[in-house]
Structure 1
Amino acid sequence: MLVKTYSSSVIGIDATTITIEVNLGQGINFFLVGLPDSSVKESHLRIKAALANNNLKFPQREVTINMAPADIRKEGTVFDLPIAVGILAVSEQINPEQLHSFQLMGELSLDGNLQPVKGVLPMVLQAKKEGFQSIILPEENAQEAAVVDGLRIYGMKSLREVVDFFNGTATVEPTQIDMEKTFTNMLDEFEVDFKDVKGQHKIKRAFEIAASGGHNVVLIGPPGAGKSMLAKRLPTILPPMSLEEALETTKIHSVAGKIKEAKGLITQRPFRKPHHSISDTALVGGGSFPQPGEFSLAHNGVLFLDELPEFKRSALEVMRQPLEDRVVTISRARYTIDFPAGVMLVGAMNPCPCGYFNHPEKECSCNQGTVRHYLNKISGPLLDRIDLHIEVTPVSFDELAMEQDGEQSKSIRERVVNARLFQQGRFSTDKGIYCNAQMESKQIKEHCKLSEESKNILKHAMDRLGLSARAYDRILKVSRTIADLERCTTIETRHIAEAIQYRNLDRMNWGS
């Protein structure tokens, strides 16, 4: 007798449907084929214990299980439940009539309880695409799966509950959520706000420009000047995520196993802050079985690298390609995986090892060579890919003592959204470009035309600062964003002048 059940395997951030064929033959052997990894092979022992502890019988005959397609490596514990259900169905302990319309996923404990698994959202999306009607999975994953409309999602606690459900002796209600209500209500839930920031008006202005154009930023200033506090508030002024962005972001976090049980859909832009001891692989992704790194977990949001010069040089240099292409490509002998990496990079650094170079009050204890060596930890090619270099100065006592709140994030966000809408109209015919930071040479030439006076100002700045061609493009992109905030169709001289001011690390006196 042969029975088929269905599950999914995640490769990158996409899923492939796996057919699990269970056959009973003569003898007492157990065979599991179809390129399973160690965790899948071990399912045999978990299933035997789970069946025994729930008064169910493991067949005393030869059991052959094939996981098709057989040339795709199967990994993880997601296959415990479909294999167990297939064994019970082939041994006539479960009614197999409805199995063809269900996808099953879940890890089994030895007592038969279902444990949550990773990568549920991409699996459910693929199941819907292939015409499945229902999903059975652990109760902890039900909220995440229920964000996909058009499927019946059954969250269950144990194998016994699954058996009773298929045999018609128990009724389980599908998990349902109001997607529109959930998505709308959670868009503006932030724990921090720019109104709490005292002073720092120039930095707020720079962040508004960065958010409006999707530009990368590096903050340089002494300890305690507020670099981390400012960076943490950047997501509060970014445009709200669209449903498509929310689903894409949730898929990545689902594959990485970072979805909270009560939060099925990620509706706020991610803010990732890895420690400077992070490895290259953890930063950009990879591994024996490739997983998304911090770069991809920050997709559609902000990647904040505090103490930038303390990161390993190799880790910083490996970011150059993802920053340019907005995708991380992991290549292996048999396959290539692309992880989305559309992030706003925000770096923060001290100006020198002691932190007080160029400080208005405190004296720097570092010699000239030490300062230059410290700043040289950030390579020129990486700095070229960062649009705004911003000097953060300490806030005065008078500003700190002010009782009046600063401008709210909500007000800044409105201007940012209007600037993004202005850009969307401009790039309506350019596929894959949604903000000024994504412009390539063709769009820069078309949308960043300068007057003769503006050209002269920019030429003088390039000669004085020794800017590269990439830095030239960055200045044009930033000036285009400044003009968009004012709803100007042309780039004026004042826009170019302000954009040049945000290249502090190109100034000759830094570290000299």
Structure 2
Amino acid sequence: MVSHLYSMGLYGMDSFPVEVEADLSSGLPSFEVVGLPDAAVKESRDRVRSAMKNCGFDFPVSKITVNLAPADKRKEGPIYDLPLFIALMKASSQLAADLEGSVFIGELSLTGELRPVRGILPMTIRARQEGFRRFFVPKQNAAEGAVIQGIEVYPVTDLPQLLKHLNGGGQIAPAQPSPAECGNPQNCPDFADVRGQEEAKRALEIAAAGGHNALLIGPPGSGKSMLARRIPSILPEMTFEETIETTKIHSIAGTLPPGVSLVQVRPFRSPHHTVSPAGLSGGGSIPKPGEISLAHNGVLFLDELPEFSRSSMEVLRQPIENGTVTISRVGGTVSYPCSVMFVAAMNPCPCGYFGHPTRRCTCSPQAVSRYLSRVSGPLLDRLDLHIEVPPVEFEQLDSRVTEESSESIRTRVNAARRIQNDRFRGTGITCNARIRPDRLHEFCRLSDPGRNLLKKAFDRLGLSARAYDRILKVCRTIADLDGSDAIESAHVAEAVQYRSLDRKYWLKEL
């Protein structure tokens, strides 16, 4: 007897329907799974066999063939345990329910309990698009799938509960959208904790308002990491579209906590400097998202930038520029979104005290030059703001003056983003940092004094064409914070000062 039902597969950001066919025929007892399964799918045979017996069901003693169609797309992971079980129950006449319009996903324990799997959100979206009406998933994943309207998501705890529901003996209530979210803005560290560093705070406010990349440079203990970790507290709230896309990536990567429905707080990812290029960009035989994609719509922070390997740093250049990372393997090509605010921090030399006002640097000029040379010019050119973070004076640390809170800064950031949303409506541009070159002069109109000042800065500093574009975008953000439609000379002057650490002239100081 042949039975068939539907499950879902996952490849990159996309999902696809999988038809599960089970055939029981005469011959020597065997259990084969075909349809390009990986090792984890083949191991489903043993999990399904044990789960059936331990739950009191009869495992069919016959020649069993299970086909996962389409056979030209690779199936991976333990997500097919549940559909294999249901297909065998149907083929062996132990289940007579009508499964039309239903989709099944889940990993089985040996005792028949369902364990959470990754990728439920993109699978639910595709299942709804394919016209399915019911989606049976592990209970821990139900909140994630329930945010999609137009399809009923059923939380399943174990096999007896599911069989009872399918046979009409007891109904499982469809899951409802949960208010549970990954992270909480109130739990983010606050800028009010940072003493002094007013110039650095202003620069990070500009970076947050326009989505610009930034480099923090200063001696050890000056507060570079402290400042960077507070950036999420001043970023604007995510739109629903950004929330769905961010949650999809974390669902695919398996980093979404059980019971969480949506990632509603902008991600902050800070990988260690030993991370590999594949760890940053993503990889694997079937490529998974890397750190830069997990930071999509949020912040990717690289602390101690020169300590990262050259190959790891250089792999960021194209994704930072384009907002997507494409990973090619023999089995196919996958693209993941990675629209991130890239923030890096570094010391000015190996000992950390080059240019310190009171402590003497012990590094030779050659050692300093080698240290700074670890960060390539092209990568430095993609960092819109170069922010000096000087040591904090004792009077500032000991002050009882209340510093400005993140909530206050975020109010100004949100006001600037609202201006940008109105300006870019219908263009597909999300913030000033994402203005395309062909629209740059349309959105970044300079006053005559501003144009003259920028020309002098361009000639004097020897800036590249990319640096010119990025200065214009930073000017646009400063003008938005100031509520000005035109870019004035004061806006240009402030934007240019954030290129003062341009590598070409930074090294000349040695």
The SS at the match of 2:79 is coil
TM-score, normalised to structure 2, is 0.96
1:273 is displaced (CA, Å) by 0.3
> Which segment drifts farther, 383-392 or 140-149?
140-149
8 A contact 2:301–2:343 mirrored in 1: yes
Which residue in 2 is equivalent to 1:162?
A: 162
Within 1, Cα distance between the matches of 2:175 and 2:138? 11
Which residue in 1 is equivalent to 2:272?
A: 275
2:467 maps to 1:467: no
8 A contact 1:140–1:261 mirrored in 2: yes
Residues 405-444 of structure 1 aligned to structure 2 (within 5 Å)? 405-430=402-427, 432-444=428-440
Which residue in 2 is equivalent to 1:401?
A: 398
Within 2, Cα distance between the matches of 1:451 and 1:276? 43
The SS at the match of 1:393 is coil
Within 2, Cα distance between the matches of 1:187 and 1:38? 38
Residue correspondences, number: 507
2:475 maps to 1:486: no
8 A contact 1:224–1:394 mirrored in 2: yes
Which residue in 2 is equivalent to 1:88?
A: 89
2:504 maps to 1:502: no
Within 2, Cα distance between the matches of 1:355 and 1:346? 19
Which residue in 2 is equivalent to 1:305?
A: 302
1:334 is displaced (CA, Å) by 4.4
8 A contact 1:198–1:399 mirrored in 2: yes
8 A contact 1:187–1:240 mirrored in 2: no
1:126 is displaced (CA, Å) by 1.0
1:176 is displaced (CA, Å) by 1.2
8 A contact 2:82–2:108 mirrored in 1: yes
1:127 is displaced (CA, Å) by 1.1
Within 2, Cα distance between the matches of 1:39 and 1:298? 28
- What letter corresponds to residue 329 of structure 2 in structure 1? R
Within 2, Cα distance between the matches of 1:113 and 1:476? 57
2:348 maps to 1:382: no
Gaps of 5+ in 1: none
Cα distance, 1:147–1:72 mapped onto 2, change above 3 Å: same
Residues 358-377 of structure 1 aligned to structure 2 (within 5 Å)? 358-377=355-374
Which residue in 2 is equivalent to 1:229?
A: 226
1:187 is displaced (CA, Å) by 6.4
1:418 is displaced (CA, Å) by 1.2
1:40 is displaced (CA, Å) by 0.6
Cα distance, 1:509–1:87 mapped onto 2, change above 3 Å: closer
1:170 is displaced (CA, Å) by 2.8
2:340 maps to 1:339: no
1:76 is displaced (CA, Å) by 0.3
Residues 57-456 of structure 1 aligned to structure 2 (within 5 Å)? 57-97=58-98, 99-177=99-177, 188-430=185-427, 432-456=428-452
TM-score, normalised to structure 1, is 0.96
1:443 is displaced (CA, Å) by 1.6
8 A contact 1:13–1:122 mirrored in 2: yes
Within 1, Cα distance between the matches of 2:443 and 2:172? 58
8 A contact 2:191–2:406 mirrored in 1: yes
> Segments of 4+ in structure 1 off by > 6 A?
none
Gaps of 5+ in 2: none
- What letter corresponds to residue 304 of structure 1 in structure 2? F
1:491 is displaced (CA, Å) by 0.7
Within 2, Cα distance between the matches of 1:136 and 1:428? 38
1:35 is displaced (CA, Å) by 0.7
Q: Pairwise CA RMSD of aligned residues? A: 1.6
The SS at the match of 1:189 is helix
Within 2, Cα distance between the matches of 1:458 and 1:279? 39
The SS at the match of 1:30 is strand
Cα distance, 1:257–1:186 mapped onto 2, change above 3 Å: closer
Within 2, Cα distance between the matches of 1:370 and 1:377? 11
8 A contact 2:180–2:259 mirrored in 1: no
Which residue in 1 is equivalent to 2:50?
A: 49
> Which segment drifts farther, 302-311 or 455-464?
455-464
Within 1, Cα distance between the matches of 2:423 and 2:166? 55
Within 1, Cα distance between the matches of 2:454 and 2:388? 21
1:182 is displaced (CA, Å) by 5.6
Within 1, Cα distance between the matches of 2:152 and 2:400? 53
The SS at the match of 2:501 is helix
Within 2, Cα distance between the matches of 1:410 and 1:52? 57
1:425 is displaced (CA, Å) by 2.0
- What letter corresponds to residue 371 of structure 2 in structure 1? Y
- What letter corresponds to residue 295 of structure 2 in structure 1? A
Within 1, Cα distance between the matches of 2:52 and 2:78? 17
Same amino acid, percent of matched pairs: 51
